[in-house]
Structure 1
Amino acid sequence: MPIMNDQTIIQHTTKWLEKAVIGLNLCPFAKAPHAKKQIRIAISHAKHLDAFLEDLDSEIQRLLNTPAEELETTLLVHPTLFPDFLLFNDVLDFADQAIADNQAEGIIQIAPFHPQFQFADSEADDISNYTNRSPYPTLHLIREDSIAKAVQAFPDPSLIFERNIKTLEEMGHEGWAKLGISGCPYHKEKT
């Protein structure tokens, strides 16, 4: 697997954020913090799970100790540690425990993204999975206050998911591939 520098990883992640998350309006709450440069993209170089969880602890603490006006949200990216989605999915239990260990329950929540993300009871190539597909395994640390404010502007968040599925179904795999947002060496696009 080729080694990529942090700048390349940040560029791929930013391109995904701008073209998919914001560009397709998959998350209607992402545009403003991105425009205000309040989204941190942190790259982990941990060699094993324990070190990755230490990086997660650090990013949780950074978010807890930085005003939202300076830092709204964090994307913690690890380009190589979790090539298998099922392994990455298992890590989410540890990530949730990290939230509890850092006394951040009710303050921060985590949303997972992965190049091979797959919802339960869906086929691997189902286009709906692409709502949570990113160039690299990524944990999105989200302030719950920010979610609450955003929900006031968009009162039925379940409609966001339904709209996202419809958008992706209309564009299909070919349309997604045209976004050109892959980057991860084990990320395979369906064409």
Structure 2
Amino acid sequence: MSEHTEIEAQVRAWIDRFVVGLGLCPFARQPVEGEQVKIVVSPAHDSEALLEELQQQLLWLDAQPPRATETTLIVVKEMLGDFLDYNDFLDLADALLINLGWDGRFQFASFHPDYQFAGTDPDDAENYTNRAPWPILQLLREDSLETVLASYPNPGQIPERNIAAMNRLGSTALAELLQKCREAKPK
């Protein structure tokens, strides 16, 4: 069993238990159940290599019909363990989209083990809406987002609903659940 297989199992457990299980993304269930989510474990050790990986994955995803692959999650296992470094890298990733002319076609969703929203304390439960077992950059198709958002009632209330749900569960329970995801083994 490879390290990549173990990491992918941990990310899939997080998707099942957090993203879908807690309803953090009301649009995730269909692509997950339809096996339209690609998970890539990046071997990149520096920003240049990771940007190259992002470009390759964007090219690949762009060539796939959404019914085959709706989204790609790039798991960064060798770098960006520090949340501030990760946050700084997001600016480079967004610049890549602009430089390649994909701004408006794709966007990144960001997840990190130590994710912390501005104005929150590190242990605040609401930070778990974007916490994951590994640093992750998710490639999202903007046209798909627009389609599902147009048919979803009050999509602007999703973040507030998620924060309320995280606060009800509490930091301790959420930390335990995330730890279980980190311990998940391939099936």
TM-score (norm 1): 0.91
What amino acid is aligned across from residue 86 of structure 2 in structure 1? F
Structure 1 distance, partners of 2:130, 2:90, is: 14
Of 8, 11, 21 in structure 2, the residue corresponding to residue 10 of structure 1 is 8
Deviations 1:55-91 (A, max 9, x none): 0001111111111111100101111301100000000
Q: Secondary structure at the match of 1:181?
A: helix
Q: Is the 8 A contact 1:40 1:75 kept in 2?
A: yes
Match of 2:166 in 1: 168
Distance in 1 separating the partners of 2:30 and 2:16: 12
Q: CA deviation at 1:104?
A: 1.0
Q: Hey, what's the Cα distance between the residues in 2 that align with 1:137 and 1:20?
A: 15
**Counterpart contact for 1:77–1:137, Cα < 8 Å:** yes
- Shift of residue 101, structure 1, vs aligned partner: 2.2
Q: How many residues align?
A: 181
Corresponding letter in the other structure for 1:43: V
Question: In structure 2, how many angstroms separate the alpha carbons of the residues matched to 1:123 and 1:181?
Answer: 23
Q: Does 1:136 align with 2:141?
A: no
For structure 2, the 5+ residue unaligned runs are none
1:34 is aligned to 2:32? yes
Match of 2:151 in 1: 153
Give 1:64-79 correspondences, 5 Å limit: 64-79=62-77
Identity %: 38
Counterpart of 2:13, as a letter, is K
Find the partner of 2:23 among 4, 25, 36: 25
User: Is the helix fraction higher in 1 or 2?
Assistant: 2
1:153 Cα deviation (Å)?
2.4
Tell me the residue number matched to 2:43: 45
Runs of 4+ in 1 over 6 A off after TM superposition: none
Q: What amino acid does structure 2 have at the position aligned with 1:15?
A: A
Q: Which amino acid aligns with 1:52?
A: L
What TM-score, normalized to structure 2?
0.92
Aligned-residue CA RMSD (Å)? 1.4
Structure 1 residue ranges without an equivalent (≥5) = 184-191
CA contact (8 A) 1:116 1:133 kept: yes
